[in-house]
Amino acid sequence: MSKGLAIMTSGGDSAGMNPAVKCCVEYARKQGYIPYLVYDGLRGLIDDHIVEATRELTSGILHRGGTVLRSSRSKRFFELQYRQQAYDNLQRRGIGQLIVIGGDGSFNALNQFYNDFQVPFAGIPATIDNDIPGTDYCLGVDTALNMIRQSVDSIRDTATSFSRAFVIEVMGRHCGYLAMVSALSSGAEVCIIPELPYDLDSIGARLIEEKKNGRTYVLAIVAEGTRMSEHFTRWLSDSMQMDARLTVLGHVQRGGSPTVHDRIMAYKFSVAAVDSLRSGNTNAIMTFRDGTFGSVPIETVTSSKYRIDSDLLKLCEPLSR
Q: What is the pLDDT of residues 77-134, one digit of tens each?
A: 999 999 999 999 999 999 999 999 999 999 999 999 999 999 999 999 999 999 999 9
Domain with CATH 3.40.50.450 in the chain: 4-140+258-305
pLDDT in the model for residue 72? 87
Q: 130 in helix, strand or coil?
A: coil
**Exposure b/e, 258-283, CB count within 10 A at least 16 = b:** bbebbbebbbebbbbbbbbbbeebbb
What averages of pLDDT result for each successive group of 10 residues across the chain (321 residues)? 89 96 98 98 98 97 97 92 98 98 94 96 97 96 98 96 96 96 97 96 96 95 97 94 96 96 98 97 96 94 89 97 94
pLDDT in the model for residue 73? 82
Q: Give the 3-state secondary structure percentages of the chain, helix then strand then coil, rounded to 5.
A: 50, 20, 30
Which of 83, 113, 88, 85 shows the shortest CA–CA distance to 99?
113
Answer for the pair 188, 221: CB distance below 8 angstroms, yes or no.
Answer: yes
Domain with CATH 3.40.50.460 in the chain: 142-254
pLDDT in the model for residue 2? 66
Looking at domain 4-140+258-305, does it have CATH number 3.40.50.300?
A: no
pLDDT in the model for residue 228? 97
Topology of domain 142-254 in CATH is Rossmann fold (3.40.50)
pLDDT in the model for residue 186? 96
Catalytic residue among 129, 131, 142, 262: 129
Which of 205, 207, 182 shows the shortest CA–CA distance to 193?
182
What is the CA 257 to chain-centroid distance, rounded? 14
Respond yes or no: is residue 104 known to be catalytic. no
Which residues lie across from 168 on neighbouring strands?
221, 247
